[in-house]
Amino acid sequence: MKQPPQKKDGPPVASSVAASERGVDRPVEKERKKDLPPPRMQFDDESRVDKAKRRSLLNQPEARNRVELFRHLPPHKNGSQLPYLESKFFELHEMHPSVYKVGLQYLTGDTSGGNARCIAMLQAFQEAIRDYSTPPEKTLNRDLTSKIGGFVSFLIECRPLSMSMGNAIRFLKSRIARLPLTLSESEAKAALCSDIDRFINEKIVLADKVILRHAATKIRDGDVLLTYGSSCVVEMILLYAHEIGKQFRVVVVDSRPMLEGQKQLRRLVAKGLSCTYTQLNAISYVMHEVTRVFLGASSIFSNGTVYSRVGTASVAMVAHAFHVPVLVCCEAYKFHERVQLDSICFNELGDPDAVSKVPGREDVNYLDNLTDKQKENLQLLNLKYDATPSDYISVIVTDYGMIPPTSVPVIVREYRKEYLLI
Amino acid sequence: MDFQVVVLAGGSSKNLTPLVSKELPKPLLPVANRPVLSYVLHQLEQNNLKDLIVVVEGEDTALVVGAWISGTFIDRLHVEIAAVPEDIGTAGAIRAISHHLTAKDILVVSGDLVSDVPPGAVAATHRRHDAAVTAMLSSIPVSGPLDSGSSGGKDKAKKLGRYNIIGLDPGKQFLLHIATGAEIEKDARLPKHILRAVGQMEIRSDLMDAHMYAFKRSVLQEVLDLKDTFQSLKEDVLPYLVRSQLKSEALSNRTPQGEENGNEKVTSQNNQVFVSRILANSSTPSFHDHSSENPDGSAPTRKTHKCCAYIASSGSYCVRLNSIQAFMDINRDVTGEADHLLTGTSSDPNNNIGPSPKLGTKTTVGPHCMLGEGSEIGDKCQVKRSVIGRHCRIGSHVKVVNSVVMNHVTIGDGCIIQSSVVCSNVQLQERVVLKDCQVGAGFVVTAGSEYKAESLARKEK
């Protein structure tokens, strides 16, 4: 039963009323519209797709042969958008060059990973704010907010936002809205830039350092640790534990088509850790010798569901079956008030052609010679994220400590208001 | 977008005598009755780049070019003409205007490039990779068919000389090696350390350097200051940057860290290192990062800079006007296949006034021809695949095939002009036969003469 959520970030108070009527929400929504990013589009709604096409900067690719179940998700913007965007390089007046550069990096996949994307975006916004000057007869609050909104819609077109980025944007917009009107323009800009710096330092850098210390206490000598894909926090934990002298082995599990684990493997091996590399199909064969599983997350929802790279749910499930504890390491700024029960209603589609190709093996091209008639019956699906139920997770390591998955809504409720008000 | 555009318009050119002269410098050489510089300027205007610096060699030439530009583009572009001494080379020209350059990146376009590749593409690639230099590469244009076979041999030799050896990485994004035709005799030398860092290099000889570059301003100024002897961007600066991309010595491409003073410095530096490590770990590592890392993975000691390449798609048109053959090819293409380049280019204000061309009876003008205004063609003439300028008087029984005729030319009756270039103010008397010739400005060809593959010019006094 599909319950498509219409907005990315519901108002914090009304989150408990999960299936609220749209009529009741409308006036509340309108008040909070300035705080929220624009409502997320359902791509099977024809009229809104057409409206968005007219407004968008990129050429939307035609919806060809998509899987029925995932038709409400935005189609993948593959590299074919790049020439179009490049040819308009000098014509995009409203775009700041650093925001444009970050957008291009998202589009081509040069930058990936929740923390990195969030940091890159915030640093680009910092530069944009520094170069910003208020046009006459406009207030800084409103104009800058609408400019940031423009940047955000450009970034969304390049690649859909991750939850961490959504929270960061909400923070930034609330800071702009709360600027006292008595400040001069340069003071306001300096205040915003220092706020962004503080956000990055406190929510990401310091949070990571706290997570490192907590998680390292859970690693004992002789452990065999399993990690999936490439999460920057987990990598830092492993390197830190190695530095403080713990003896352990690492099993790096990877999956097609992104093969993200290979980059992490290279970095771990370069530092001297002894690693084993395997793919997801071998997870149940490897799990019997593993003592702990460390996973990263893109976001954690209020019911304790972990939203992370596709394949994480399988790893957690197999670990649970083998009675291996699963530790999810995630900074608290990635928590979200939403509740998601499955991986279908909200996800991200990747490049479908990547599924049919194997890098480095040109001879594996069995799907290239299909006739058009045959191609009509074949639908390629490349999902990027999946949702891991909270039953499979033992503990979540955050900068507020090590909490069980059921405590996530508490953190969201208690600490979210606090950081919005600082 | 923090880009500054410099157009190198050159001045005189030895390859193109006798077509260029004091009155008609190379940037104003007409292609399809419009100066070649107008194509570049029009494309920049279409891409919303309105502040340009045009560099011209020689004071007089600069005046002529400047007058033309301000006449045509008076409201639409803001152009600054800079005159540099002759024979200073492209690098020298940039050195001379170096104090004018303020933006973060410089886009250097050659004034004789006729193409429809958007400069935004080169600029976007440059920004995306944060490169020190990005070069545009396009496939070598196919030379047009020649009517006579005799000059075929001469051109084949020219073609071989124009070989370029270009080494690209497997992703076709970075330039690993570039060697222009002049240096290649029998063997090409490749630097080993670059090959070892990348692993795989793809060597192509079917690409040419289209002379549209995007430079990081600091890098360009440093290189020009450091190496005084560099004369040409294409042959000296670019290969130097490509060779030294993994071992840049003086080139500083790191932003200065830790500008705050006091005890906050240490923590902020730590945080910055943290942040940069997160960012670096997330992005696809290029071979630059691999090679610059120490074995224990600490901060890189050797600085690297990136040289990117943008390969123009095969559908786009990109030709440089640097030889007579190229001149004829461009004329033919612009009136023929690539006529989208013509739509919308500004016509001189003079073009609007003046009578339209008059054709005599039984005169055929083939497709892909262009006739300027005020031209009169007599009876029983044949014009095929040619470009004829303004105010020409062409007699009867004249055959003009595959040629370029400029303005104010008088052609007597019974002439045959094939694969030739006839400059302005030339008078061809009756029954002249020209094949593969270039007739300089103001020349008078006596009646009944036949010339094959010659270059006729009036002697400069």
Return the pLDDT at B346: 41
User: B420 lies in which domain range?
Assistant: 350-456
Closest-CA distance, A135 to chain B, in angstroms, reads 18
Residue B189 exposure: Cα atoms within 13 Å on the Cβ side: 5
Cα B217 versus chain centre, distance:
20
Mutation for testing the B interface, residue in A57, A84, A86, A99 having most B CBs under 10 Å:
A86
Alpha-carbon distance of A322 to A319, in angstroms, equals 5
Judge whether B323 lies within some domain: no
Q: Where among B303, B318, B333 does a domain terminate?
A: B318
Do B246 and B378 belong to one domain?
no
Question: For residue B342, is it within any domain?
Answer: no
Task: Write down the residue that tokens 């400059």 correspond to.
Answer: B423
B249 and B363 inside one domain:
no
pLDDT of residue A36: 46
Searching chain A, which residue's CA lies closest to the CA of residue B278? A116
Give the number of A-B residue pairs with CB atoms closer than 8 Å: 97
CATH code, B285? 3.90.550.10
Same domain, B273 and B420: no
Instruction: Decide: B83 and B59 in contact? Cβ < 8 Å.
Output: yes
Shared domain for B83 and B217, answered yes or no, is: yes
Q: Which residue of B has its CA nearest to A116?
A: B279
Cα–Cα distances (Å) from A378 to A69, A382, B88, B279, in that order, read 14, 13, 62, 37
ipTM > 0.90 for the complex: no
Q: State pLDDT tens for residues A20-30.
A: 344 444 444 44
**Residues in B touching A106 (Cβ below 8 Å):** none
Q: Which of A90, A115, A232 sits opposite B49 (nearest CB)?
A: A90
Q: Is the pLDDT of residue B156 over 90?
A: no
Mean pLDDT over B251-257 rounds to 42
Domain count within chain B: 2
B278 to A108: CB separation less than 8 angstroms, yes or no: no
Q: Is B255 inside any structural domain?
A: yes
Q: Do A204 and B2 touch (CB under 8 A)?
A: no
Q: Domain for residue B10, yes or no?
A: yes
Is the domain of B398 the same as that of B307?
Answer: no
Which chain A residue has the Cα nearest residue B104? A97
Selection from B120, B109, B367 nearest residue A104 by Cα: B120
Per-residue pLDDT tens over the stretch A51-105: 666 666 555 555 566 788 888 888 887 666 677 777 777 776 678 888 888 888 8
Q: Which of B48, B279, B295 sits opposite A120 (nearest CB)?
A: B279
Question: Average pLDDT for residues A131-145, to the nearest whole number?
Answer: 85
Is residue B75 a part of any domain in this protein?
yes
Rounded CA separation B405/B294 (Å): 64
Q: Could you tell me if residue B153 is inside a domain?
A: yes
In angstroms, the CA A320 to CA B52 distance is: 65
Q: Are B106 and B184 within one domain? A: yes
Task: State whether residue A143 is helix, strand or coil.
Answer: helix
Residues B286 and B419 in one domain: no
Whether B99 and B205 share a structural domain = yes
> CB distance A91–B123 less than 8 Å?
no
Distance (Å) from the alpha carbon of A151 to chain B's nearest alpha carbon: 15
Please tell me the pTM assigned to this model.
Answer: 0.78
> What percent of chain A has a predicted confidence (pLDDT) above 90?
42
Distance CA A406, CA A306 (A): 12
Which of B318, B334, B362 corresponds to the end of one domain? B318
Question: A91, B48: Cβ pair inside 8 Å?
Answer: yes
Q: Tell me whether residue B39 is in a domain.
A: yes
User: What is the rounded average pLDDT for all residues in chain A?
Assistant: 82
Contact A101 B128 (CB under 8 A): yes
Whole-Å CA distances, A35 to A10, A25, A39, A166, A234: 11, 15, 12, 11, 32
Tens of pLDDT along B1-46?
678 888 888 766 666 666 766 677 777 787 777 888 888 888 888 7
> Do B356 and B298 fall within a single domain?
no
Picking from B128, B264, B284 by the largest number of A CB atoms within 10 A of its own CB, the best residue to mutate is B128
Q: Which residue has the tokens 């923070």?
A: A171
CATH number for position B448: 2.160.10.10
**Which of A206-215, A371-380, B135-144, B393-402 shows the lowest per-residue confidence on average (mean pLDDT)?**
B135-144
Chain B: give the shortest CA distance to residue A301, in Å: 24
Shared domain check, B238 and B168: yes
The residue out of B265, B296, B318 marking a domain boundary is B318
- Interchain contact, B128 vs A110, CB within 8 Å: yes
Query: Is B395 a member of any domain?
Result: yes
Same domain, B130 and B174: yes
State pLDDT tens for residues A283-309.
999 999 999 999 999 999 999 999 999
CB contact under 8 A, B1 and A111: no
Chain B residues within 8 Å of chain A (Cβ atoms): 1-3, 47-49, 118-121, 123-125, 127-128, 130, 271, 274-275, 278-279, 281-285, 293, 295-297, 313
Mean pLDDT over B362-390 rounds to 81
Same domain assignment for residues B370 and B240 = no
